[in-house]
A and B are shown apart, each in its own frame.
Chain A
Amino acid sequence: MRVPVSWLREYIELDQPVTQLAHLLTIAGLEVTGIEDTGSGWDRVFVGMVERIERVPEADRLVLATVNYGADSLTVVTGAPNIAEGQKVALALEGAVLVDAYADTPRKRKLKATKIKGIRSQGMVCSERELGLSSEHEGILVLDGDATVGAPLATALGDHILTFDLPNNLAYANSVVGLAREIAAITGVVCRERSVPILAATGAATMATVEGKHLAARYLLQRLDNLVIRPSSPYIQQRLQASGVRSINNVVDATNYVMLEYGQPLHGFDRDASEGDVVVRASHTGEVFETLDHQRRPMPPGTVMIADAARAIGIGGIMGGLNSEVTEATTSILLESATFDPIRIRRSARAMGLRTEASARFERGMDPELAPVALARAVELLVQEADAVPVGAPYDWYPEPIRQRAIELPYAEVKRLLGVEVAPDEMECILRSLEFDVVSQPDRLLVTPPSYRQDVTLAADLVEEIGRIHGYDEIPATLPSGALPVQRSDEAALLERRAREWLVAAGLREVINYDLTSVAALEPFRALPAGAGPAFWQPVNQLIKVRNPLTTEREYLRPSLLPGVLQNLRDNLRHQEAVWLFELDRVFVRQGDGLPLEPRRLAVALAGLRRPSSPHLADGETNLYDLKGVVDGLLAALRVHTYALVADNERPASLGVEIGGRCAGFASALDAELLARLDIDRPVVAAELDWEIILGAATRATTFAAYSRYPAVRQDVAILTQDSVPAAAVEQVIVRYGGRNLRGWRLREVYRGAPLPEGMKSLLYGLEFQSDDRTLTEAEGTKGRRAIERGLREQLGAEIRGSDQP
């Protein structure tokens, strides 16, 4: 909402600078988001009076005007069609800086004296556009007759325009009068009351039938005859324009003016459009209605329609009908001031996609007591502006006048909620300044809000009023006192954090993706295994779809993290040599009709160089063993004791991750076809694990195990075996035959190629033998190694290099 300060001044004395006023309002909850200073750039622009107009020879459109600006008169050549003798106008002298009305992009220029058709033009009479007031440039700006000739234009027309962003509950303040009331309470200055002429009390000239109070709490209708439709007075036009409302004609302008001034939306119907009594009814099934904006609209069920016996003439509280529009030919109107049902207005406006200034106001609830006041004010304006003659009294349907109930406010309640002591006197004073009716009792106040404060129903509401007027700056910062609540630790969050930190230490970067994805992004994953482990792809009809997605890119709740992480990987490979990513977050699984399950997953995707290239190291391309190392290391770090990474016999270069015998995910090198579909041209290894299973199996604390203080004996064993024998089989034999002193083994080297025969490989294991109670001899180590060598020969047919071979 834009509000000219000059308009506010009609209702309240303002002494403080406008920035101070804006600050006070903002702190009290009426946020001022902008202060515009119109007239700040009007140096050398004055109020002038057009004394004489002469034609310019050989130029039909131009006139020579003599303009007096107090000190002197000068002559200007102008093409303004609306210039007339006796007008007060904005006269710019040489050196004034004005908006260039003919430039395509906004820019300013300095006025110089020129010669037009050989006639010297010493200044300029300005349009609104040239003054930066609006885009209007059809003619010059005509000032109000009261303006003082010779005064700087800024004193006549300069103003501050405040822009407000009002919260929903302060709808009552959404007007000049409403704001003036708020300012009165905040600054302690009393508002000026405007006395509005009282309309005739009896003898309504117009009748209406309102179907019920479910449509409108109050409905007033005043007949006005003898109207002359013409542009409004300059002051009305200027105020509307400053408030961001376009001036249309005196009748429409008067209703808009009153809406801005009092907050009550009004509507004028051309009386020729209706026959007989007005009917306020709910829309008929299938009813179609053409609104003022030339749109034929189907009326949602339950819409409030303003009609006569034959047809509708407007949508109550939202928009008038084209058939009853006030035009230049209009001479008589029905002026409506009503309190429509907020929920009904809201539903219809939403269903139609037609939110108007009026509907926005009705939605938030209007004060029925305001309707006759605003009507009277509009009648007053129309009498002045359009020569209107009110006929009879207004029709007034108000079956159940509102009664505000008194609210009990114990004094202690203010301190209990705000944490600051406010004296009972001050509470009372604040509430009275807000026009609340207050009765004080020994320990409490009985407070009745004014009719326009239907938002105030509880003691807490009153505490808010006291708090914001007393000033939130006065509230101290204190830490909560009293017994500390039990602080509960969240094991799951802790473990999640440990996992993330471990992965970061292992060189992976965390990504966070949108929960919403598209069918197109999921489709390539159709081929991934969906069986025992977490499902990475689900048929579209099992996904959870958002009804009103912003784009088709984000339409379905993701069933897997992998599509997002792989997309991040692809995008980053364009400019990064190493891309190691993980995401640990929720996926969504449909669960009957209830809320979906939101299990967490961990996705890892690695590609590119293992580490950034360095002159000291050979470049290494990330491979499956990097991924295996990450998964292995993480599960061990989380002390998941029951996990195993097992070869997936169905797919090459793939591992199943089992925890406690259950499939908890996979880790694999992605196949070429999937990579091609994802538009990735480098090898990628990726894993997705069911975090909930990991969470269930992770153990928090580990128990200290005493380590041996005696030195270990280390021996190597190198074996030659069939290429097809998996390392896991070799290790099983090592464990089985190693004896009780075998403490560890580590595969140090795998070798294939010359001079080894085709189809064979060499594996070099380092063995470690150690005892807890003594130093082992080299011979004991050798004995252990020999036992292992025997086992390898017997179980796997392996040759022991160095002893079985020459």
Chain B
Amino acid sequence: MDDSDKTKEQAAKLINDLQDINFVKIVVILFAAWLIIFLAQKLLPILARNGPSKLRLTILNVVPIVRLLAVSFAILRIFPIVFNVTFQNFLVIAGGASVAIGFAFKDYVSSLIAGVVATFERPYRPGDWVEIDGDYGEVKVVGMRALSLVTPSDDVITIPHKKLWEQNISNSNDGQRTLMCVTHFYLTPDHSPALVRDLLRVVAMTSAYLEYDKPVLVMLENQPWGTHYKVKAYPFDMRDQFAFVSDITVRGKAALAELGIEEAAVLAPLENASRTL
């Protein structure tokens, strides 16, 4: 037997004969995996939305794990049905796949692998508020290749997981139900800073959205145009973060006006431009 015959035989063994491949079984496995993922993606967010608030993030976090398990299950079940799994064949397939990935699907596979890493390292989870590459929003979906953010302006932004390798990811709540909100006040210099600091602290303390178990802090710093105050506090539900900041702003301005304290009419440097309403 010459070399060409040997090569043909090996190639035939790499993939099982068509008559040996159980296509019905493959379809059933694919359908089962799809059904599990579909149900997890549809039902768990509903359960999270309508269930106890404390369990919302936990339930949402189950979705990517279920999807990863379902896809892994499907691949592991289908692979031996289609391929003749031997060590030699594995090397052949890995070699072929490496070339294909290296030239055509590098970014795609990089995102897929980053997605798997993200599932375990959890730099972001569904329900988290994150800032990636200047975009700030709530993580709605963590998919296999990318995640979807919904910004405060209700824009949906799709970001591939491979950003994980390249960018710093700022997670505001990191799986917690709350996150720190910063409310800014810019005041003219002629006032008592101690009085204003106490006043703004009490204003934050009396907000309806306040989380009791977290601290309320008021920071201030001198600026050439006056004093910049930052009220740092936590709402009990991070979905209320903008309502919380608005509430402190409205009532803080009213309380300052009662004391006759004027706000500075100068342009201040805009901080965290992406985290605006």
Q: Decide if A and B are genuine partners.
A: no
Residues of B within 8 A of A (CB): none
Interface residues in chain A, defined as those with a beta carbon under 8 Å from any beta carbon in chain B = none
